[in-house]
Amino acid sequence: MVSKSLLPPAGGEPATLQVAAVGQAPRNVVQVGRAYEQTSVGVAACSIEKDLAVAVQSGSAGNTVQFWVVKLSTGRVLWTRAGGGSIVASRDGQYLAESSPAAGSTTTIYGPTGVVLGHIAGATEAFSWDGSLAVQMAANGSVSVVRWRDGTVLWSGPSDGGYWSALPEPGGQRIAVSVLDPERPQTGGFPFRNIYVVGPDGQAVKLLTDVM
């Protein structure tokens, strides 16, 4: 996402989604969102293979103000939605999870055209590489890995260890989940975290301990 000015004016200015290959000049796809000095518009997902990108306009508190699902080849906006919840996209833009800001929220999973594909409890924080699994955070901070199409909970993290972050295995189905170490409470600086790798069969390996 680019705008005309390095430092946008107070009222903001239009932002443009661009794509580029190494060694080639960027190509303008479509103008969506606005760039401001204190808020951002960015790309949540992009896939040449699926011909999709997801652009997200964020508010000053990090909340999602609006998002757009764009066809890269034509610049056509397939779907846009304004909302106050949290938006998480699969890496290829095939799935979008919208979580309500309310405590004990549920997440709605959409396809790229806005078709509702499912609902799951908790807030979605990440998808697996193929989009079949979702990392869910409950209102109390506990984490689980769920097969979202049927709601099956494949793995639940330690009940006293809060969710920190997650990353999908490139080209695979496993997800690395970072959980706060309950035995090493944070007293300042970065917290201690344990890293689990969770597979589609629900088997989890504790890969690293007390990572900062």
- What is the predicted pLDDT for the residue at 95? 98
Q: Are 78 and 71 in contact (CB under 8 A)?
A: yes
- 45-69 burial, b at 16+ Cβ within 10 Å, e below that, comes to bbeeebebbbbbbbeeeeebbbbbb
Summarised one tens digit per residue, pLDDT across range 82-130 is 876 789 999 999 999 998 766 457 899 999 999 999 999 999 999 999 9
- What is the predicted pLDDT for the residue at 38? 67
Long-range contacts of 147-150 (CB under 8 A, 24+ apart): 147/200, 148/109, 148/118, 148/120, 148/124, 149/117, 149/118
Summarised one tens digit per residue, pLDDT across range 10-28 is 778 899 999 998 999 999 9
Predicted TM-score of the model (pTM): 0.88
Q: In this structure, what token pair is assigned to residue 91?
A: 């890496």
Instruction: Tell me the pLDDT band of 34, cut-offs 50, 70 and 90.
Output: confident
Domain boundaries, the chain: 1-82
- What is the predicted pLDDT for the residue at 103? 45
